[in-house]
Each structure stands twice: as C-alpha cells, then as structure tokens.
Amino acid sequence: MKQLKVESFLALSLSKGKLKARKNGIFLIISSFIYFFISSFSIYASVVLNEVAIQPNQVVELYNNASESADISSWYIDDAGGTTYFTIPQQTILPPQSCILFNSDFNFNKSSADVVRLFNNTSPPTTSSAKLMESYSYSKAPDINYSFSKKIDGGIEWQTTPSSLGLTNTSLSSCVPTPTSIPTPSPSEAPLPTPTNSPSPTNIPTPTSSPTPIIDYQNIYISEVYPYPNPDEDEWIELYNDNDIQVSLIRWYIDDGENMGSTPKLFSLTMGPYSYSSIDISSSLFNNSGDVARLLNTDKVEKDSMEYGKIKQGKSIGRISFSEDSFCEQEPSKNAANSSCFLEPSQPIPPQAAQNIVKPIQKVPTPTKKPNTQTIPKTNSFATPPLITTSPPEGEVLGIEIQQKNPSSPAPYLSFVSGSYSLLTIVSIFIKMKNA
C-alpha cells in the first residue's frame, strides 16, 4: 500500500513537471516570436520619411535613425493608393545616421491633397498584406523650391521650409554618406618632431565636428533631352552616372544657354553606378527651335552641356556615345539606354535633316559650281573619236555651243556641183553673144 502511494506521488510529480516544461516551452516560443517581431520592427522603423519636395521636381528623402546600416532594396514609395509605385533599386544600403534621395514621378498631387507612403519589401503597396512603414498627408503642395521636412532628422514632427534635400534639417550639413570607393588622402610620410620635456597642455577645447563637404562628382553626363513634349507632357532631361559608385547630386541645377534669361532649375538626385535617371521640368525651359542644355553643380559650375538644333515634337535628342560629345534625334527613351538615331551614320544626310544633327555636325561636302565655259583638251586628229552612248543637249557639250554637222550628208557636194554648173552656163552664154 505504501509502495503504491509512493508510485502515485512520483507519477503525479512527473506529470506536473511535464506540464510545467510544456508551459515553459510555449512561453519561450512566444517570447522569441515577440522579440523577433520587435527587433525586426525596430530595424524597419529606423528608416523613415525625412523630407518631401513636390515641385518643380518630386523628390523623397529617407533617413536611417539606427546605429547600423539598413538594406532598403525593393522597398516602395507610393502616393495615396495609386496603381503605380516607385521601387527602390536593388543593393541599396543606407548607412546609419544618413539620408538618401529618390527623384521620380511619384504622382504626388500639386494642387490637391495627397499622401506620401513608404512600404517595406514584403509585398507591393497594391496588395492588402503590404507593410506600411510611415506616411505623411498634406492638403496642398508647398511652393516651388520648398518642401515638407522633419523638424529633427528622423523625428515625427513636420514643417514646411526651403528645400534642404541632402542636408541635415538642423545643421544643414550633408547627410549623404561619403562613397567608400573614393580614396582618402594619406598623410605625409615625413616624421613629425617629438617634443621633449614639454608640459602637458591643459584646458584644450574639444574640437567641433565640421559639416560634411558636398562632393563635386565627375563623369556625370547629359544623356538625353526632351525639349518639345507632346500635349499634357513635361520637358525632361536624362543624366547618366558613368561611375562605379552611387552618387548623390545635392542642389545641382539644369539650365539652358548661359545668360539666356531662364532661371536654373534646382534639383537633388541619387543615382546608382552606371545608371540613368531623369528630371522632369514642369515649366518650359528649352526652345523647340534649338537651344543649349547645361548641367551645373552646386556652385553653378558647368559639368556638361548639349547643343541641338530644331527638333520635331515628341522626339528627343540623345547622346550617341559617352566617349565623344555627339548627339542625334531619336525616339524618347526615358531612364534607359538611348534609342538609335533616325539617320544611320552610313547614309548621306539630306539637307533638310542636317540641322537635326548636333555637336559635332557631320558636314556633307557640297560640289563647287564650275563656269559654263570649259576648255576641251586637245586630242590627236587621227585618233578614233570615242563612242558616245548618251547624246548631250543639242548645240551644247560641257557648256560650249557647237554646230551639229553630219559628215555623211551630200548637201555640201550638191551645192558645189550646182554652183559649177551655173558658172559654166553663164560663160557659155557670154561666148555665144560674143561670136554673134
């Protein structure tokens, strides 16, 4: 009996232990899930909307609040429930405490209310399972060169200020990360003298961090210009980044010919390595009859230019090769490699189309007009004349008027015989009269 009680007690203790272990296992699983969810959310939530410009160009600036880099490849930027959305390119890594700019036609409304939305890459915005990371609603777009921005970078309060795209909203220093591929100048190898027996300095002020300089990138080219748009379209200009690193063009400008009266168009843009990106120009900038398109850096120093002549509506002027400064008229190819020229290089250029070829213009040699009086080279009178297969206009050979004669005609001989007969007749009559 006593042994039975002991066995019952052991069985009960074992069952309680299993139940407790099962509860602990369930608790551990739930805790792990909650931790994973919170940690994942904190990683995603570190990347937020930081600034939005609507006009003249639509630009969205994202900011990474975290202390670690964030991979935002294939994230989405969308307006209020549109059918199209912008997808962030692959291999887009945003370093900590840094910003990145995206310039595109996001379909943000200018004169009416709209919403700027940021989604992660779990599913597209058009699906019900899309994960919304942050959004900002507005009733009307700000004025040109103004934007909606966070009061504190990565914060939650918004304000309307002059555009500071690519700059921190507080100190206005660059928030775009410096590319790692740019070599850092090495210090001089000359040894510095080591002071001896010098007292340790005291009360040295702590140096303040200087603003990150804005990089003046090279090898940024004008790839294509769309100066004469169809109705309900905007002008645009396409740039090409001929570098193996991502570049951020902070407060650069697009302009027409120098001192032509137009106001340069301010823009900020981030471009991946060896990639195309376009800038929409809502107000007219380029002339349809011919103009110059120029790319200027932050200091308004010209980085590239393109001159073109008269162009047809709905056509663009595209660069033929990035190794030379030549362009031609073509079908528009926005944000992609340029189309083929309408005129193939091997074909002669008709005069009416020659003005559509720009810098440099292929010139077709024009034959020089020669006077109508040309000397005919002397030939041997005994040589057999060449056979002429095509008869020239009557009375003229190479501009010299001649008298056409047929050497086989008997007319000259008949005239001579007739004249001789007449002369003999007169002499015979004269003799008869004398004898009579």
Q: Can you tell me the mean pLDDT for 398-415? A: 52
Output the pLDDT for position 276. Answer: 93
Query: Residue 360: is the preceding peptide bond cis (ω within 30°)?
Result: yes
379-396 tens-digit pLDDT: 444 444 444 444 444 544
Confirm if 295 and 241 have CB atoms less than 8 A apart: no
Residue that wins the pLDDT comparison between 380 and 168: 168
Residue that wins the pLDDT comparison between 126 and 237: 237
Pick the most confident of 17-21, 25-29, 107-111, 214-218. 107-111
Residue 374 has pLDDT above 50, yes or no: no
66-108 tens-digit pLDDT: 999 999 999 999 998 777 889 999 889 999 999 999 988 888 9
Output the pLDDT for position 32. Answer: 47
Output the pLDDT for position 219. Answer: 92
Residue whose token pair is 């939005």:
52
Question: Which pTM value belongs to this model?
Answer: 0.48
What angle is formed at CA 248 by the lines to CA 340 and CA 121, rounded to 5 degrees?
85
Specify the length of the chain in residues. 436
Q: How far apart are CA 125 and CA 366, in angstroms?
A: 61
Of the candidates 277, 268, 215, the residue with the CA atom closest to the CA atom of residue 52? 268
Q: Can you tell me the mean pLDDT for 109-136? A: 90
Output the pLDDT for position 228. Answer: 94
Output the pLDDT for position 283. Answer: 81
Residue 37 has pLDDT above 90, yes or no: no
Residue 128 has pLDDT above 90, yes or no: no
Q: What is the mean pLDDT of the chain?
A: 74
Q: How far apart are CA 348 and CA 344, in angstroms?
A: 8
Bridge partners for 87 per DSSP: 76
Q: How far apart are CA 31 and CA 26, in angstroms?
A: 8
Confirm if 102 and 78 have CB atoms less than 8 A apart: no
Ramachandran region, residue 228 (left: φ > 0; alpha: ψ -120 to 50; beta: rest): beta
Output the pLDDT for position 227. Answer: 93
Output the pLDDT for position 15. Answer: 57
**Cα Rg, the chain, nearest whole Å:** 43
Output the pLDDT for position 193. Answer: 53
3-state secondary structure the chain: CHHHHHHHHHHHHHHHHHHHHHHHHHHHHHHHHHHHHHHHHHHHHCEEEEEEECCCCCEEEEEECCCCCEECCCCEEECCCCCCCEECCCCCEECCCCEEEEECCCCCCCCCCEEEEEECCCCCCCCCCCCEEEEEEECCCCCCCEEEEECCCCCCCEEEEECCCCECCCCCCECCCCCCCCCCCCCCCCCCCCCCCCCCCCCCCCCCCCCCCCCCCCCEEEEEEECCCCCCCCEEEEEEECCCCCEEEEEEEEECCCCCCCCCEEEEEEECCCEEEEEEECCCCCCCCCEEEEEECCCCCEEEEEEECCCCCCCEEEEEECCCCEEEEECCCCCCCCCCCCCCCCCCCCHHHHCCCECCCCCCCCCCCCCCCCCCCCCCCCCCCCCCCCCCCCCEECCEECCCCCCCCCHHHHHHHHHHHHHHHHHHHHHHHHHC
Output the pLDDT for position 52. Answer: 94
Confidence of residue 434 (pLDDT cuts 50, 70, 90): confident
Q: How far apart are CA 106 and CA 87, in angstroms?
A: 10
Q: Which amino acid is at 91?
A: Q
| Proportion of the chain above pLDDT 90, given as a percent | 32
Residue that wins the pLDDT comparison between 40 and 228: 228
Q: Would you state the structure tokens that stand for residue 296, as one six-digit string? A: 């200027």
314-362 tens-digit pLDDT: 999 999 988 878 899 999 999 999 988 986 443 344 444 444 444 443 4
Residue whose token pair is 């890459």:
121
Pick the most confident of 4-8, 26-30, 243-247, 355-359. 243-247
Query: Among the listed ranges 15-19, 304-308, 391-395, 423-427, which one has the minimum average pLDDT value?
Result: 391-395
